[in-house]
Each structure stands twice: as C-alpha cells, then as structure tokens.
Amino acid sequence: MKEKITYRRPDGKECNAYYVIPATGETAPGVVVLQEWWGLNDQIRGVADRLAEVGYRALVPDLYRGKVTLEAAEAEHLMSNLDFGDAATQDIRGAVKYLKGTSPRVAVIGFCMGGVLSILAAVYAKETDAAVSWYGVPPEEAADTGTIKIALQGHFALEDEHFTPVQVDALESRLKEGKVNYEFYRYQAQHGFGNETGERHDPEATKLAWQRTLDFLAKHIK
C-alpha cells in the first residue's frame, strides 16, 4: 500500500511523507529514505517502493515541504536553505519514531544530500538502529561522527567532485578513531551513480551497491 501521511516531529510540528507498506504489513521493519537535493520526486519514491518489495516499510519525509525541481541551480538553492540540524533531529528522528511505533528496528538510508543526513541521523536520531549513506559526507563540524553507536554503511564514488575521496578518507579516519562499526565501499563511478534517471548512472555499480545495502539491512534490522 502506498499513501501520503503526516507524522509528528519530536517538537510537535508536522511533516508530510510518502509511505509504503509491504505485503507483510505494519509490523515489518522500517526504513526512512532520504531524498537527493532534487526533492521528494518519483525517483526517490521508487527507492521506497523497491524496499517495500523486499519486505520493508519505507517512509520518505518531505524535507523541502512540497518543493521539487529538475534544475541543478534550484536544487542547490533548496538544499542551501535546508536546516540540516533541524532535518536530522526533527524530521528524520520523527520519521524513525513513527516507524518504531509498530516495529522494533528501523534504519535510515540516504542519497547525496540524504546521504549526508543519514550520517547525521546516526549521530542525532538516537532511536535509529542502522544507517546507510550513498555518496554523502557531512562537514566535520556538523557532527562528531566518532560517537556513532550503530552500524553504518557507506557507498562512495571515486570520481566524485562533490564528496571527494579525500573527504571520504577523512570521515573513515574519524570513524576508526571512534571504533564505529562501519563498512565503506568505493566504486569507479561518478557522483549520483545510483540514480537511474541521471546522466551519471552506473548500472553495474548500482547493482552491487544495492545488493550490499540489502544484505546490510537484512543483517541489522530484519
């Protein structure tokens, strides 16, 4: 079942979302899916649909409050106006808590901007049980990633000019220092390789990263 819902954030405000329930019903483990900088579009709904097909409830918070774009300049503007701290501690944490209402284990997965937020959620949304980032690295000052207590998986592109291999290596060093339970994978691909609607889509890398993601989710929240 697919539907639009509204849930409450920890501060009592409301957030809209796209919600998919698998055939196994409302007690299935949950995954919060976090958008790229384009907004809550058909592509990110498709990610949620695929997760539901393999047995997860999937919830996509509308972080841009209804705004969606196809233009990179407008996407950059929308992303720059997003309060990442508020998104992580309120929109995303609220989504995790909503899913936890009927199942004990919930993961967060995000892409690009959403990948940044999934790592922030691993720090700030304490109810989260596991997190996956596809090509997103938060600024070092945004969070003490060495304090992450849950399993974390990352998928990164070696030809990424937005989140460079140097940034990924620096994040990995901080995770190692904090003895975080993490696994990182690097692909000979470009930023956004997992978005099948984009010109940088890499089907081989996407297939491998998706299988690794499903294996990780199965291990930590099923």
Domain ranges of the chain: 2-221
User: Band of the pLDDT at 132, cuts 50, 70, 90?
Assistant: very high
Which residues, including other chains, have CB under 8 Å from residue 83's CB and lie 6 or more apart?
Answer: none
Could you tell me where the beta strands, DSSP code E, fall in 53-157?
57-61, 106-111, 130-134, 151-157
Instruction: Report percent pLDDT > 70 for the chain.
Output: 100
Q: Rounded to the nearest 5°, which phi and psi values hold at 15?
A: -135, 135
- The β-bridge relationship of strands 182-187 and 106-111 is unpaired
Handedness of CA 148, 108, 88, 92 (dihedral sign): negative
Q: What does the alpha-carbon distance between residue 7 and residue 99 come to, in Å, rounded to a whole number?
A: 10
Homologous superfamily of the 2-221 domain (CATH): Alpha/Beta hydrolase fold, catalytic domain (3.40.50.1820)
Dump pLDDT digits (tens) for 56-114.
Answer: 999 999 999 999 999 999 999 999 999 999 999 999 999 999 999 999 999 999 999 99
Per-residue pLDDT at 148: 98
Mean pLDDT of the chain: 97
Distance from the Cα of residue 191 to its chain's centroid: 15
